[in-house]
């Protein structure tokens, strides 16, 4: 069977290298040094891109550019989502205009989540945490189900230049809901370039690799609508997913697989203490053979989130490998960092509410 990435599937993206050969995603390596103040970029967690050169150039030449991404309001906001939030905040600090949507239409069509639930989740979980993590109110935020006419007009027009077979080639089995979801997502990504939203300009879309089919389609559509809109083909970056605390997928439907940013700190501590590690069966063996940080969910937490200082992280890595660090001790240290982070963050959430209000007041609708 032909290889596909399924944005709604349960598979993990197993082999990131495949994405380069098979789908033409390029390595992010050459931008790593220039943007090394971002932890996810510095550590290769953002591993791939399409056309990011355009964005790099905009940053360096201080030209206008936009960042657009969408959030799937499907449950509690956890450390996996934090990674996306911090990339958005990073681009905001670099001067990008921020376009952020709640994918409540997709949530309804593909997951049966009611628009009311989506709304609550988008506000209480996503926006409040984004702001507590550092997002300012300089944001254009919208719901896919409640936005302005030019956006819907664009979405409808897009359908004129893509065939059913083409969509099948990209997404496999289709449903009416899927088709509407993907066209809506293309409009999410392209509408900031309509004249009433600032006109054609470079746009970066930071996403997980599972979203690449949408980017491929959107870029094709952008080139087919040159005569009408002069779209600049959107750029994208791809990050690796955090694995769940028990190994396997981190999933909103399994609370043991993630730490939510609103988890009770003591509950989060317990989750860390029960996480899957790369340690050996006995302390004895571990001292002799060392652990395997690559297979360790505790190490993932440190790498993605909790230790920003590279030399400090390298020390954990080395000590784990050599066997001088044992898992009990290491987990305890990690749990303390989680508890400290959550306490601090949850205080910031309280203060975030006023900023979220302002973002909503600015929201443009009909
Ligand atoms: N499909 C995305 C998800 O499942 C959400 C989304 C909607 C999105 N519109 C977008 C992502 C535009 C990037 C750009 O998470
Ligand atoms: Fe993981 Fe730490 Fe154990 Fe190494 S020592 S396997 S990093 S918990």
CA-nearest residue, atom 4 of ligand 1:
72
pLDDT score for 12? 61
Domain that holds residue 299: 255-348
131 and 103 within one domain: yes
**Ligand 1 mean position to 331 CA, how many Å?**
34
pLDDT score for 294? 95
Model confidence at 366: pLDDT above 70: no
Ligand nearest to the backbone CA of 252: 1
Model pLDDT for residues 253-264, shown as the tens digit of each residue: 899 999 999 999
- What is the Cα–Cα distance from 360 to 313, expressed in whole angstroms? 39
pLDDT score for 11? 61
Tally of domains in the chain: 2
Report the CATH number at residue 81.
Answer: 3.40.50.620
Positive or negative torsion for Cα 106, 109, 110, 115: positive
Report the CATH number at residue 326.
Answer: 1.10.240.10
Query: Which 3 state secondary structure label does DSSP give 99?
Result: strand
Strands 139-143 and 97-102: parallel
Ligand nearest to the backbone CA of 192: 1
- What is the Cα–Cα distance from 239 to 40, expressed in whole angstroms? 8
279 and 235 within one domain: no
Q: Which residues contact 246 (CB under 8 A, 6 or more apart)?
A: 256, 257, 275, 276, 297
pLDDT score for 332? 98
CB-facing half-sphere around the CA of 8: CA atoms within 13 A:
17
Residue 139: CB atoms within 10 A of its CB come to 21
Could you tell me the maximum CA-CA distance found in the chain, to the nearest angstrom?
A: 69
Model pLDDT for residues 267-277, shown as the tens digit of each residue: 999 999 999 99
- Asked whether residue 277 is assigned to any structural domain, the reply reads yes
Residue in 243, 326, 330 to alter for ligand 2 test, most ligand atoms within 8 A of Cβ: 330
- Asked whether residue 358 is assigned to any structural domain, the reply reads no
Q: Poorest-confidence range of 7-11, 262-266, 274-278, 361-365?
A: 7-11
∠ Cα 121 138 219 (to 5°): 75
**Ligand 2 mean position to 86 CA, how many Å?**
25
- Asked whether residue 10 is assigned to any structural domain, the reply reads no
171 and 306 within one domain: no
Residue 236's H or E segment, with its range, is strand 235-239
185 and 106 within one domain: yes
pLDDT band at 14 (very low <50, low <70, confident <90, very high): low
Which residues approach ligand 1 with their CB closer than 6 A? 68-70, 72, 101, 103, 106, 185, 188-189, 205, 207, 211
Model pLDDT for residues 59-114, shown as the tens digit of each residue: 999 999 999 999 999 899 999 999 999 999 999 999 999 999 999 999 999 999 99
> What mean pLDDT is reported for the chain?
95
Residue 204's H or E segment, with its range, is strand 203-208
Q: What is the atom index within ligand 2 of the atom nearest the CA of 325?
A: 5
328 and 199 within one domain: no
pLDDT band at 2 (very low <50, low <70, confident <90, very high): low
pLDDT score for 102? 97
pLDDT score for 340? 98
Model confidence at 1: pLDDT above 90: no
* Average pLDDT rounded to a whole number, residues 204-227: 97
**Ligand 1 mean position to 137 CA, how many Å?**
21
CA-nearest residue, atom 11 of ligand 1:
70
Model pLDDT for residues 147-165, shown as the tens digit of each residue: 999 999 999 999 999 999 9
- What is the Cα–Cα distance from 64 to 358, expressed in whole angstroms? 24
The answer to whether residues 63 and 232 touch, using CB atoms and an 8 Å cutoff, is no
> Residue 231 has what DSSP assignment?
P
- Asked whether residue 250 is assigned to any structural domain, the reply reads no
- What is the Cα–Cα distance from 20 to 31, expressed in whole angstroms? 16
- Asked whether residue 13 is assigned to any structural domain, the reply reads no
Residues forming a β-bridge with 237: 49, 206
Which residues approach ligand 2 with their CB closer than 6 A? 277-279, 291, 293, 296, 298-299, 320, 325, 327, 330-331
């Amino acid at each position: 069977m032909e290889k596909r990435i399924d944005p709604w599937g349960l598979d993990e993206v197993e082999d990131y290298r495949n994405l380069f050969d098979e789908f033409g995603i390029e390595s992010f390596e050459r931008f790593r040094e220039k943007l090394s103040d971002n932890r996810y970029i510095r550590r290769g967690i953002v591993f791939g891109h399409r056309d990011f050169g355009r964005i790099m150039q905009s940053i360096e030449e201080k030209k206008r550019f936009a960042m657009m991404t969408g959030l799937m309001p499907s449950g509690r906001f956890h450390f996996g989502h934090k990674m996306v939030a911090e990339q958005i905040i990073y681009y905001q600090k670099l001067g990008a205009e921020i376009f952020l949507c709640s994918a409540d239409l997709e949530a309804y069509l593909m997951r049966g989540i009611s628009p009311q639930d989506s709304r609550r989740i988008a506000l209480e979980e996503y926006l409040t945490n984004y702001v507590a993590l550092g997002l300012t109110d300089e944001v254009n935020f919208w719901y896919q189900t409640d936005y302005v006419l030019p956006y819907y007009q664009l979405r409808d027009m897009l359908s004129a230049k893509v065939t059913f077979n083409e969509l099948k080639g990209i997404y496999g089995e289709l449903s009416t809901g899927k088709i509407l979801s993907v066209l809506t997502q293309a409009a999410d990504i392209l509408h900031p370039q309509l004249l009433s939203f600032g006109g054609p300009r470079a746009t970066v879309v930071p996403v997980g690799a599972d979203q690449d089919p949408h980017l491929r389609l959107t870029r094709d559509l952008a080139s087919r609508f040159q005569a009408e809109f002069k779209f600049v083909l959107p750029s994208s970056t791809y990050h690796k997913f955090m694995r769940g605390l028990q190994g396997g997928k981190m999933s909103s439907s399994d609370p043991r697989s993630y730490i939510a940013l609103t988890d009770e700190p003591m509950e989060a501590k317990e989750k860390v203490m029960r996480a899957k590690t790369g340690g050996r069966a006995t302390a004895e063996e571990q001292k002799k053979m060392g652990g395997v940080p690559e297979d360790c969910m505790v190490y993932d937490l440190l790498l993605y989130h909790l230790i920003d200082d590279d030399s400090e992280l390298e020390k954990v890595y080395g000590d784990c490998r050599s066997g001088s660090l044992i898992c009990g001790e290491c987990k305890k240290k990690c749990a303390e960092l989680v508890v400290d982070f959550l306490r601090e963050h949850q205080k910031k959430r309280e203060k975030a509410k006023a900023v979220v209000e302002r973002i909503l007041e600015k929201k443009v609708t009909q």
